Amino acid sequence: MRNMKKVTAFFLVTVMTLSLAACGGTGGDKKKDDYNGGKEVEISYWNSGMGTEFLDEMCKAFNAKQSDWYVYFNATAAGNAVTATYPLEDVDTIDLYMSGEVPDISKKATLDDVLDSTADGDKKTIREKFDASHLESEVAADGHYYSLTWGGGALAIVYNKKLFDKVGIKETPRTTDELAVVCDKLMENGITPLTHYMNDAGTYWDYIQEVWQAQYDGMDYYRNNFYACKDEAGNSPSKDVLTKKDGRYQVLKAMEQFITPEYVLPGSNSQDHITMQTKFLNEDIGMMVNGSWLSNEMEGTGSVDNFGVMKTPVLSSITDKLSTVKNDALLRKLISAIDAVADGKEEISKYQSGDGYVVDGKQISAADWDIVKAARNMVAVNYPQQTLFIPSYSDAVEGAKEFLKFFYSDEGYKIFVDNIHYTLPMKLSEGEIDRSDWNGFEIEMDDVFQKAETCVSRHMKSCHDIFNNGGAKPYAGYKFVAMFCASNASDRMTADQAWDYIVEQIEGNYKNWLANIK
Amino acid sequence: MSKPKLRMPKSFRRKSKGEIALHIFVSFIFFLVAASYVYVFLWAVVAGTKTHTEIVINPFSLPQEWHWEHFLDVFSLLEVNGKNFWDMLFNSIYFSVGAVGLQHIVTMSFAYCCTKYKFPGSEWPYVIILIMLTLPLYGSGGASYRIYKALGMVDSYSHILSALSGFSMNFLYYRACFKSMSWSYAEAAMMDGADDFVIYGKVMMPMAKPIFGALFLTGWLGIWNNYESALIYLPNIPTLPVGIYQFNTEMVYRARLDILFAACVIISIPAIVLFIAFNRVITTNVSLGGIKG
């Protein structure tokens, strides 16, 4: 009994003492060895496969450069947890969020002044360093910038070079019809042509679909009509825009050819992307849509050196929009010519003839050349999905902005690139990125991105609110990829059935989407 | 005169074939249930020694090469915001043992006073707790967060003081326990000159030790495995379950299932050891549907 009493007393005293001692300060020992005496700037960081090393190094470099601000970060891989405190203005201590998309701009500080600043040692403003087509996706409907990208990457079809060599595929597919032919060839040789992952949010095909839609409809219509939900007469929002049989229908028709139960690895519709990527890198699978981050995510699980990256094939039905190219064979030859010119292998003068061009002995109009060239040079990106922003109520807005100026300076950007091995949609103010220690996959992926002329992403900040907050989605959220390759025949749908279903969903939900944005 | 036959008690009699069959059947079911738990644990141990690729490609095979070093790698790779395994272990022990201990000492004392001393309102806590249990307050998380924040108990070791509440389900167990204890022990102690504190500390509390032990262990297990509260209230003081949760979340973007399973095995060991050591305390004091008084 005496022992029990002693143990209880000791226990209580210990706990009380520790608790009271701890009352004076927080347990999170945020200030590390490099504390510079500056005012704290707290970052909430979403660790979405890029690791924390680059940010750690960047914070240390910034803290060493000046003593007015001290930047530190908390990292989590749980995307929702990163911004959980954002709306709680009175209790939120975060000064800079590096997170996913947060459409609500009401409590975000503008970053226009950051974009127009020039970092110490740089020769260009941050705005000038950014890719112009990317900035178009970051600008909000009111013309201001409230967020900028800090991560994400480019997406393209990644292929297994060894398997392509094995079956004698010399050239990556240039059109979607040719992609189906490549799938056939792989299949004939006992190789599973495709795999993908799928979760509630969708699949990486979603990004390639956007490129194909933009290729068919043209970037102008895609950005200023479809995502502005504005019809030709200027009415916005317009249901007709959403139900119009546009590039999305052509995407369905194209994908129906190669997203089939025979071509797609069983299980692709139900497994996460790390699992499917592991299988892709270690089993006999021909292709998978993937992004710049593949190498980082899969470090240590298999070499990515044998994997190549292809430019996104052009939607074969683009010939509907062309006057002088009416078949896929000629379209492929035209694309080869455009690629050869872009890669500097041939002079454009070789093809020029009068007002137009001659490819494979066929006359091509200048307009057709330009349409196909624009389509071929589009790249899918998800940079606008990983954005940083400063809450306007933060008491360290200036400190956070100073850090951002460093982040996008040549010095900061080099830290980023050296750690991550892929680039943001921006250039150094002078000089080139050193890629000497990058692997083959990283270089190919970066080449595909750097040589592209237009970044395509549906995650545009300026798109109509019916998409941002209303709930509208291009395909009404219908996972047709899963339906096209469903192993159960009764679940399978054709492109036409899928389109009818999508239109039905749009008709049924349109009023709700409008109500959501009122 | 013949000797009367000795009739053996029923339990000593030879079992009928039907009883034996039933016994075997029930034992087999229990064996399957137990084996399913053991299998999961062993599978995790084996997975911890494989490579990530092996786990994905051949989840049920034995490793081509046993990587026992993964269990050591956990100590260096499991890190949350600069806090390593040992920091998280300290935090886990501090909050699980400290908070549960505090809560039970407070609740036991509270229940004792309300049960053994009659004063106006002595029955109110019982009624209030019953109402609280029947009508759980959904959506109170935001209010709790604001209160703790105002008290400086968010992201602080002082958060352990939030356990200082007697209003919980445990109150009912302790109340039932003390109700069943005869007051004549206290009267005898009083005749020997014991005051109220001595009676509680030397007579009543020792008699409540078994239920305290059982509730403490089950409560400790709950807190030891709880990551949700720690994620919200202790973002910079991560506990081991938070570390595992964060690591598991990172698996969405990171191919290290091997380390994840090795870490799961390591953090489940304390709970398994404690259960093995104290399973009699738990099983003899927990009866179907409640806890023995």
* pLDDT < 70: residue spans in chain B: 1-13, 136-139, 281-293
Specify the number of domains making up chain B: 1
Q: Which tokens is B226 given?
A: 């709880």
B52 inside 8 A of chain A by CB: yes
Which of A10, A15, A18, A43 to probe by mutation at the B interface, max B CB count within 10 Å?
A: A15
For CA atoms A326, A328, A334, A338, the dihedral sign is positive
Angstrom distance (rounded) from CA A237 to CA A513: 10
Cβ contact, residue pair B253, A1, below 8 Å: no
Question: What number of residues does chain B have?
Answer: 293
Q: Name which of B202, B237, B251 is nearest A28 (Cβ-Cβ).
A: B237
| Residue A331 host element (H or E) | helix A328-342
Taking the model in full, what pTM does it have? Answer: 0.79
Closest residue in A to B254 (Cα) is: A297
Residue ranges of B 211-230 with Cβ closer than 8 A to chain A: none
The domain A39-152+384-446 belongs to what CATH superfamily? Periplasmic binding protein-like II (3.40.190.10)
In a domain, B211, yes or no: yes
In a domain, B47, yes or no: no
Mean pLDDT of chain A: 90
Write the CATH number for B109.
1.10.3720.10
Between strands A356-359 and A362-364, the pairing is antiparallel
Exposure of A17 by Cβ count < 10 A (0-12 exposed, 13-18 middle, 19+ buried)? exposed
Q: Which own/partner contact pairs does B55-59 have at CB distance under 8 Å and 24+ positions apart?
A: B55/B257, B55/B258, B55/B261, B56/A275, B56/A278, B56/A279, B56/A282, B56/B257, B57/A278, B57/A279, B57/A282, B57/A283
In a domain, B143, yes or no: yes
Angstrom distance (rounded) from CA B36 to CA B33: 5
Which chain B residues have a beta carbon less than 8 Å from that of A26?
155-156, 236
Range in A6-15, A445-454, B81-90, B143-152 with the lowest mean pLDDT = A6-15
B93 inside 8 A of chain A by CB: no
Q: What is the dihedral of CA A396, A402, A403, A405, to 10 degrees?
A: 150
Comparing A384 with A212, the larger pLDDT belongs to: A212
Which chain B residues have a beta carbon less than 8 Å from that of A278?
52-53, 56-57, 255
Q: Name which of B160, B234, B249 is nearest A15 (Cβ-Cβ).
A: B160
Residue A27 has pLDDT above 50, yes or no: no
Closest CA–CA distance from residue B130 to any residue of chain A (Å): 28
Domain that holds residue B180: 84-241+268-291
Angstrom distance (rounded) from CA A423 to CA A461: 21
Residue B288 has what pLDDT?
41
Cβ contact, residue pair A12, B102, below 8 Å: yes
Angstrom distance (rounded) from CA A182 to CA A189: 11
Mean pLDDT confidence for A145-164:
95
Q: Which tokens is A33 given?
A: 């060895």
Tens-place pLDDT, residues A283-338: 899 999 999 989 888 877 767 888 999 999 999 999 999 999 999 999 999 999 99
Comparing A19 with B241, the larger pLDDT belongs to: B241
Q: Name which of B56, B145, B234 is nearest A278 (Cβ-Cβ).
A: B56
Residue A3 has what pLDDT?
54
Residues of CATH 3.40.190.10 domain(s) within chain A? 39-152+384-446, 154-316+374-381+458-516
Angstrom distance (rounded) from CA B259 to CA B242: 15
Cβ contact, residue pair B156, A297, below 8 Å: no
Which chain B residues have a beta carbon less than 8 Å from that of A275?
56
* C-alpha pair distances (Å), A346 with each of A12, A64, A364, B146: 82, 49, 17, 67
Cβ contact, residue pair A18, B231, below 8 Å: no
Cβ contact, residue pair B205, A4, below 8 Å: yes
B160 inside 8 A of chain A by CB: yes
Mean pLDDT confidence for A473-496:
92
In a domain, B237, yes or no: yes
**Under 8 Å between Cβ of B199 and B113:** no
Mean pLDDT of chain B: 86
Range in A150-154, A163-167, A213-217 with the lowest mean pLDDT = A150-154
Tens-place pLDDT, residues A241-292: 999 999 999 999 999 999 999 999 999 999 988 899 999 999 899 999 999 9
Closest CA–CA distance from residue A25 to any residue of chain B (Å): 7
Distance of CA B60 to the CA centre of its chain: 31
Residue A461 has pLDDT above 60, yes or no: yes
ipTM of the prediction? 0.73
In SS3 terms, A97-164 reads as: EEECCCCCCCCECCCHHHHCCCCCCCCCCHHHHECHHHHHHHECCCCCECCEECCCCEEEEEEEHHHH
Residue B242 has what pLDDT?
87
Comparing A461 with A153, the larger pLDDT belongs to: A153
Distance of CA A115 to the CA centre of its chain: 21
Phi then psi for residue B176, to 5 deg, are: -60, -40
C-alpha closest to that of A207 among A39, A439, A457: A457
Phi then psi for residue A228, to 5 deg, are: -90, -5
In a domain, B164, yes or no: yes
Closest CA–CA distance from residue B269 to any residue of chain A (Å): 24
Helix A176-188 × helix A247-258 angle, to 10° = 10
Closest CA–CA distance from residue A474 to any residue of chain B (Å): 26
Tens-place pLDDT, residues A39-94: 999 999 998 878 888 999 999 999 999 999 999 998 888 777 788 888 788 878 89
Q: What is the dihedral of CA A96, A101, A105, A107, to 10 degrees?
A: -30
Cβ contact, residue pair B157, A1, below 8 Å: no
C-alpha closest to that of A218 among A228, A226, A209: A226
B67 inside 8 A of chain A by CB: no
Q: Name which of B202, B249, B252 is nearest A1 (Cβ-Cβ).
A: B202
Q: Name which of A4, A20, A300 is nearest B255 (Cβ-Cβ).
A: A300
Residue A15 has pLDDT above 60, yes or no: no
Closest CA–CA distance from residue B150 to any residue of chain A (Å): 9
Q: Name which of A26, A49, A77 is nearest B155 (Cβ-Cβ).
A: A26
Cβ contact, residue pair A274, B252, below 8 Å: yes
Cβ contact, residue pair A4, B206, below 8 Å: yes
Exposure of B170 by Cβ count < 10 A (0-12 exposed, 13-18 middle, 19+ buried)? buried
| Domain boundaries A154-316+374-381+458-516, corresponding CATH code | 3.40.190.10
Mean pLDDT confidence for A196-204:
91
Task: Return the exposure string of B25-59: e unless at least 16 CB atoms fall within 10 Å of the residue's CB, then b.
Answer: eeeeeeeeeeeeeeeeeeebebbbbbbbbbbbeee
Q: Name which of A11, A27, A274 is nearest B101 (Cβ-Cβ).
A: A11
Any idea what the Cα angle at residue A362 is, between residues A360 and A364, rounded to 5°? 110
**Under 8 Å between Cβ of A163 and A284:** yes
In a domain, B198, yes or no: yes
Residue A440 contacts by C-beta under 8 Å, 6 or more apart in sequence?
Answer: A304, A305, A307, A308
